Amino acid sequence: TVGCVVVDKEGRCAAATSTGGLMNKMTGRIGDSPLIGAGTYACDLCGVSCTGEGEAIIRSTLARDVAAVMEYNGLNLHEAVDFVIKNRLDEGKAGLIAVSKNGEVACGFNTTGMFRGCATEDGFMEVGIW
């Protein structure tokens, strides 16, 4: 699975996710990536793209939950990402990347690693795996 989340200079957030799914999967299986609110979500507060065990991400509507705890609990982006990774996945293994309308960027995962990269306008740039 691959994904990208962006907030532009006008504060507009967007998210996109694309995948081949699971190796040796049954034909006809649909995972979390195309399900809006599960693998992908964007609103005026943030943009989120998820990857990992699709079935766990679907059950937890992981991407929408990041926006929901920001909207209803007033958490900031990093707090929201930490909260959903720690409290919404049950036994599932997953990761996500997110941006906020304020130009923040965050990622969280409970797997051994996640291929990820991020950059902000002030020059910060990071590419990581573990």
CA distances from 33 to 25, 28, 39, 71, 78 (A): 15, 14, 4, 23, 22
Instruction: Indicate the residue among 39 and 80 with the shorter CB distance to other proteins.
Output: 39
Task: Tell me the backbone φ, ψ of residue 83, rounded to 5 degrees.
Answer: -60, -50
Binding residues among 51-90 for other proteins as defined by CB under 8 A: 51-55
Q: How far is the CB of 74 from other proteins (least distance, A)?
A: 19
Of 8-47, which residues contact other proteins (CB under 8 A)?
A: 8-31, 33-36, 39-47
CA gap 48, 15 in Å, rounded: 6
105 near other proteins, judged by CB under 8 A: yes
Q: Site for other proteins (CB under 8 A): how many residues?
A: 84
7 near other proteins, judged by CB under 8 A:
yes
